[in-house]
Chains A and B, each alone.
Chain A
Amino acid sequence: MSQHYIPAWITVVVIPLANVAMAAFAAALVFWYLNINPLDALQAMVYGAFGSSYGWGYTLYYMTSYIFTGLAVAVVFQAGMFNIGGEGQAYIGALGVGLVCLGLGGHVPLIVLLPISIIAAFVFGGLWALIPAWLQATRGSHIVITTIMFNFIAASLMNYILINYLKPADTMSVESAVFDPSSWIPKMHEAFALVGISIDRSPLNLSMFWALFVAFAVWVFLWRTRWGYEVRAMGSNPSGARYGGISIPKTVIMIMVIGGGLAGFMALNVVQGEAHQIKLNLVNQIGFTGIAVALMGRNHPLGIVLASLLFGFLTQGGSELQFEYSVDARIVVVLQGLVILFSGALQNMMKHPIERLYLRLASQRKEPSEEHAAEA
């Protein structure tokens, strides 16, 4: 009789909001300690992130990257595994995108190049995840350990490739040549200008629409296809999945390649959409932040889009804060850390009290119908 029935809106709306509220409260204490009025700080952040089309541009630009790396963690988590390798998978995905743009840029129009670079981002990111996946599936090497190690390997490998092969001879900094402008993904302000709407110049580019589409496609994949069914079955009950004729090794490999590919898509936004060249350390922790985004978004695509928006806001609003109050740049990291702490590590702190409160209220309301419920 341990059937505590908690409606979905408690789990997906109330509890995450309560967690964010707790994080905001803790952040307020930090600001108070720094002699900054927390309300002023909040205002500066909100204005910085949403107060202008410039702020919106940056917020949505960061959101786009977080959606990809968040989904990369979430799909694998649906299979019951933890993909910590988003950082490396995105980095290698950038290599794929960069090679396509460097090789084909200027030779073919964007309409031909873009599908190829999308595929390259997915294939390069996916292949980087394939090795840990294969080791997990056939040798039982734990994917958490191997994907972390593959982040370091990716960083070293990219160093090597950039310095020895991609760096033009006439530059000092470790980065590839700038891609031919015909291969760049159009910026949002350019696209809006075409239809006569003027918005501020920002890194935001059309890959945001790809991110939203991919989030929807991931939902369809997980909840509407037989492959997604198998992934979720395995994630929830591996021996039940085996009973159901689902091959665990095959599913591990499939979902990890998909996860790696999704992380690789992040390069479309950052490399092909904004930097237009492969730079050293271009992923810059976005892969790791994806873990927090997935946690916060309950590993559901819609949740991840919302969590990405929140993290985009924190990133952009936080850097505004830095200008406004000349606090240390790492205030952004502190804010993100607090959100991760309360919505990830401490997620059950609010969960149980809220659920208990709900059940108490519900049982008072439903007292007369209880007999009936027990019968069913």
Chain B
Amino acid sequence: MTAQTTFAAEYALELRGIDKRFGAVHANKNIDLKVEKGTIHGIVGENGAGKSTLMNIIYGFYEADKGDIAIDGKVLKIKDSKTAIASGIGMVHQHFMLIQNFTALENVILGAESGELIDDSLDKARTELERLSDEFGLSVPLDKPVEELSVGFQQRIEILKALYRGARILILDEPTGVLTPQESEHLFKVLESLKAQGTTVILITHKLREILAATDNVSIMRRGAMVAHVKTAETSQEDLAELMVGRKVLLEVEKGNSVPADVKLSVRNLMMTDSVGVKRLDNVSFDVRAGEIVGIAGVSGNGQSELLDVLSGITPLGSGSINLNGHTVDPKHPMNPSQVREAGVGHIPEDRHRMGLINSFSAYEAFILGYHRKHEYNGVLQMKHNAIVADCREKMERWDVRPQDPYLKTANFSGGNQQKLVIAREIEQDPDVLLIGQPTRGVDIGAIESIHRRILDMRAAGKAILLVSVELDEIRSLADRILVMFDGTIVGEVPGDKADERTLGLMMANIVPDEIKALQAEETA
């Protein structure tokens, strides 16, 4: 080890030559990182660039093969997360680690109880938490079960948890993924006040705009290596994107005017209740015309997934009716997913791992999922194996899916190529109506551009497209009209050109601004 080299104390965290391999995968290559005390430091990179591995090494989940970690200038061996916490590192994971039926207070002391009897710990924690809340604007209802709190509050509890354990370096992994723009803004205010009190914040995100808005310095990772460290004030979104991808990227694709024609998808008073009796969709009505993209915006978990499931026939509808490309669906006349496909509806599901792909299948098998009963793929008993493989090979070439190997397991493709597989499969069947959920989730910036272009091509070809996304930028750049969902209902509609972030953000929190109300009144009049 290089213990004789000195580590400067002005850095809250310093990494030197961190190297980590998982078998053949070189996840972190000789990483150097210096995080100044009392700053907000952003780390950006595409999926699989090695950000999470690096953070897990700092937090003690993995041990680095090589390299040193120094905290406040002192080299430390972080063997497990206990050591990390003791050295003042706190981490807020992308997926919260809270016990749903515990109160905020109980969650905070979990694992940090001060004695055998819980009451003392709770009292002590309450005073401390009240102090922290006041100081950093992190107020939460301490005595309500976590499951009754919004995600914004849940995230604050995670932050409080870390602070309560004495975190001086706070790592946040994709913290804004589940927040409305207003909640995100509040989070950044909290981070500012933490910084003002001397806490160091490391912010991991793929949203470049947030990096520019919230950080002091940025480090960029690409394919396991640190490629650059820059001052936030001296960079731009375009520069960061180029550093991340390694080439110039277009962040927004040009789209022409839409020429909406006939209504291809029409939803009236749709209701759906889940198996435990919670209303997931409530009185949802809208139309999608041929040649237009209708976007559904909203914080995730407000009924968008359920809407896609009902429209594609996966979940039966409770009441109301749907007209899918001329076929009526209502509780008396349900359609299953294959009938929906036969009616000319393609569905690119939100979660390709859970739905769109079968991970153990080869690419050629994945390419026919949902269409595997079609005549052209089947003989009397056996499937036409050679024809299916040839068909797959040809489509892979046309869609530039790499590697072009029909026999490769779908799990072994990168996220972007998996998504291309799914999108290619659905679009190649030439549907009239296309249901799209989160088309670019977990997809590299470089691939996002081409996926967006394909979606706009479908619009130009006169398809009716319903686009669900939690990425506001994506919705704004693609959709002609935007519907905002909140708690299973449609809060309102915004024309694509009037959709600024503030308006959408308010509507995502179920507040309809006056100018939109006026717009809607005009339309109904």
Contact = CB atoms under 8 A, between A and B. Distances in A.
Contacts of A2: 22, 25
Interface in A216-251: 220, 224-226, 229-230, 232-233, 236-237, 239-245, 247
Interface stretch (A163-171, A207-215, A358-366): A358-366
Contacts of B24: 4-5, 359, 362-363, 366, 370, 373
Interface string B315-343: 00000000000000000000011111100
Contacts of A3: 25, 411-412
A374 interface: yes
Given A224-B382, A237-B359, A1 B372 contact: no
Contacts of B377: 226
Contact of A244 (B48, B370, B381): B370
Contacts of A230: 372
B383 interface: yes
Contacts of A229: 365, 368, 372, 383
A107 interface: no
Contact of B354 (A220, A237, A356): A237
B365 to A, nearest CB: 7
A298 to B, nearest CB: 13
A1 B360 contact: no
A363 B26 CA distance: 10
Interface in B342-376: 347, 349, 354-361, 365, 368-370, 372-373
Contacts of A224: 382-383, 385
Interface residues of A, number: 34
A233 B358 CA distance: 6
Nearest to A365: B24
A225 B388 CA distance: 12
A172 interface: no
B394 to A, nearest CB: 19
Nearest to B385: A224
A195 interface: no
B23 A244 contact: no
A356 B23 contact: yes
B346 to A, nearest CB: 12
Contacts of B357: 237, 240
B224 interface: yes
A231 to B, nearest CB: 11
B27 interface: yes
B338 A236 contact: no
A370 B365 CA distance: 28
A376 interface: yes
Contact of A363 (B23, B336, B356): B23
B369 A244 contact: yes
A5 B337 CA distance: 33
B197 interface: no
A240 B355 contact: yes
Nearest to B23: A359
A3 B24 CA distance: 8
B280 interface: no
Contacts of A237: 354-355, 357-360
Contact of A225 (B48, B341, B381, B412): B381
Contact of B337 (A225, A243, A356, A374): A243
B359 A236 contact: yes
Contacts of B21: 363
Nearest to B352: A240
B95 to A, nearest CB: 17
- Secondary structure class of chain A's binding surface, majority of residues: helix
B402 A226 contact: no
B205 interface: no
B312 interface: yes
B314 interface: yes
Given A3-B412, A229-B365, A244 B359 contact: no
Contact of A233 (B337, B338, B341, B369): B369
Contacts of A241: 358
A240 B383 CA distance: 20
Contacts of B337: 242-245
A240 B354 contact: yes
B360 A236 contact: yes
Nearest to B224: A1
B355 A239 contact: yes
Given A232-B361, A240-B356, A363-B23, A1 B373 contact: no
A366 B26 CA distance: 12
Nearest to B26: A370
A242 B312 CA distance: 11
A355 B365 CA distance: 26
A184 B347 CA distance: 56
Contacts of B411: 3
Nearest to A362: B24
B50 interface: yes
Contacts of A232: 358, 360-361
A166 to B, nearest CB: 38
Interface in B9-27: 21-27
A226 B373 contact: yes
B403 interface: yes
A75 B178 CA distance: 41
A359 B24 CA distance: 6
A1 B402 contact: no
Given A243-B314, A245-B338, A370-B26, A376 B403 contact: yes
Nearest to A371: B223
Contacts of B450: none
Interface in B398-431: 402-403, 411-412
B268 to A, nearest CB: 24
Given A225-B383, A233-B361, A376-B403, A239 B354 contact: yes
B101 interface: no
Contacts of A4: 22-25
Contacts of A355: 23
Contacts of B365: 229
B450 to A, nearest CB: 16
B26 A243 contact: no
Smallest CB-CB A-B distances: 10 pairs: A245-B338, A359-B23, A245-B337, A244-B370, A243-B355, A244-B369, A236-B360, A1-B48, A363-B24, A376-B403
Given A220-B382, A232-B358, A247-B336, 10 more contacts: A2-B25, A226-B377, A226-B383, A230-B372, A232-B360, A232-B361, A237-B357, A242-B314, A355-B23, A366-B24
Interface of A: 1-5, 220, 224-226, 229-230, 232-233, 236-237, 239-245, 247, 355-356, 359-360, 362-363, 366, 370, 373-374, 376
10 contacts: A2-B25, A236-B359, A236-B360, A243-B370, A244-B370, A245-B336, A245-B373, A373-B24, A374-B224, A376-B403
